[in-house]
Amino acid sequence: MSQQLPDGFTARPATTEDATCVATLWNDRSEATRDERPSTPERVLNTWDHPKFNLSTDSRLVFAPDGALIGYAHVRDVKDPPVDVFAGYSVRPDHDHTERLWDDLFAWLDNEARRVIPKAPEDARIALVAGAPAEDTTAQRELTRHRFEYDRTFHRMTTSFEEPAAPVALPDGMAIRTFKPGADDVALVTAYLDAFADHYGIIHQPFETELAEWRQLMQKDGFDPSLWFLATDATSGGEIAGLCICHAAAPGDPERGSINDLGVRPAWRRRGVCQALLRHAFSEFASRGIQGATLTVDSENRTGAPALYERVGMRSVQVSHTYVKELRPGVNLVPQ
């Protein structure tokens, strides 16, 4: 798709050696829109680290005539079935006016995303999914210009620990403990799939595929099972009722811990399990000298999660929008 580019501009796939300059590009855009620089080369490499992501075919870098990196795009069709393809993109802010650069990146994204069509069920809807910060009006304009439609809003919420988190009592027979790698793998994935079955954007892929992805996550640097919390119910043989998967440092905010996945299975909802897990995580973070916590939540979450998070002292500090471009109409296999 290089014919979209102005004369003198060049494009090629990324390599792992490009992680530093890609992080700089991402940070330049983030600083221009949100006044922050959260990306690191390690975070870029982590984005690329998936067995179904091929850097040589699934990424694109665009360079100006002087050799400077000014554009980036990737596609991720990492779910099974591949009915949602996830797009990443970035343009250096001083090239926002270069319309042909945006055209090149979005034409490449569209073309590459369509490679999944033969792999998807014949009657399934296929969509290209992309996000944009609420502050990045240029990105939102370009998404709309390239036939993406607004779909959903997400909030990044944070809290600071000014005093120890008050514990929350669980129902009789229930307790919170940490995850045991190996012993808990299957039970954790079973609980996760149940808790998030109706969550926006979840693709119901085969159990063994999901299990393999979780086990790969456990092999990554930074995996800390002492920050993976499970609410269990002795009255049902120790079943996992809810989970709270945490990381000691949030991207771009090392003073706060990150809550990556927080969910309760339907049979245990409305019993205080989610709040107990959340406060337990707060307490553990505080005991380690971590000054706060952050998480991201769907504004239209069906379980009322945003209101719960507000009750425990969290507040929205960033807003991002999700946009979708339908590549093929059909039966939508993804919860809305």
Select from 3.90.220.20, 3.40.630.30, 3.40.630.190, 3.60.15.10 the CATH code of 158-318: 3.40.630.30
One-letter amino acid for residue 213 of the chain? E
Give the domain ranges of the chain.
2-147, 158-318
Better-predicted residue by pLDDT, 11 or 199: 11
Q: Which long-range contacts (CB under 8 A, 24 or more apart) does 52-59 make?
A: 52/76, 52/77, 52/78, 53/78, 55/13, 55/14, 55/15, 55/16, 56/13, 56/15, 57/13, 57/112, 58/13, 58/112, 59/13, 59/14
Fold annotation for 2-147: Aminopeptidase (3.40.630)
Under 8 Å between Cβ of 231 and 277:
yes
Write down the pLDDT at residue 199.
Answer: 86
The answer to which of 42-51, 131-140, 161-170, 207-216 has the lowest mean pLDDT is 161-170
At residue 2, the pLDDT reads 47
Name which of 192-196, 199-203, 254-258 the model is least confident about. 199-203
> Residue 131: what residue type?
G
pLDDT of residue 336: 63
Phi-psi region of 63 (alpha: psi -120 to 50; beta: other; left: phi over 0): beta
Q: Which of 71-85, 236-250, 284-298 has the lowest mean pLDDT?
A: 71-85
Q: How confident is the model at residue 293 (pLDDT cuts 50, 70, 90)?
A: very high
Neighbours of 34 (CB within 10 A): 17
Strand arrangement, sheet containing 10-12: 10-12, 59-63, 69-76, 84-91, 126-133, 315-328, 149-160, 292-298, 256-264, 239-247, 228-233, 174-178
CA separation for the pair 54, 70 (Å, rounded): 21
Strand-pair partners of 61? 12, 72
* CA atoms within 13 Å, Cβ hemisphere of 289: 1
CB 323 within 8 A of CB 130: yes
pLDDT (average), residues 306-318: 93
Q: CA end-to-end span of the chain, whole Å?
A: 33
DSSP string covering 87-113:
EEEEE-GGGTT-HHHHHHHHHHHHHHH
- For residues 256 and 250, the answer to whether their CB atoms sit within 8 Å is yes
- Say which amino acid occupies 271: R
Q: Which two tokens stand for residue 274?
A: 């989610």
Give the pLDDT confidence of 169-193 residue by residue, as tens digits: 888 999 999 999 999 999 999 999 9
User: Is a pLDDT exceeding 50 seen at residue 159?
Assistant: yes
- E strand segments, 249-314: 256-264, 292-298
pLDDT band at 303 (very low <50, low <70, confident <90, very high): confident
Quote the tokens at residue 202.
């979840």
Lowest mean pLDDT segment, chosen from 36-45, 148-157, 194-203: 194-203
* pLDDT at 62 exceeding the cut of 90: yes
Tell me the HSE value of 34 on the side-chain side, using a 13 A CA sphere: 18
CB 95 within 8 Å of CB 101: yes
Does the structure show a pLDDT above 50 at 1? no
- Residues 27, 122: contact at Cβ < 8 Å? no
Instruction: Please give the mean pLDDT across all residues of the chain.
Output: 93
Identify the band that residue 3 occupies on the pLDDT scale cut at 50, 70 and 90: low
CA-nearest of 58, 128, 76, 72 to 101 is 72
**Residue 319 carries which side chain, given as an amino acid letter?**
V
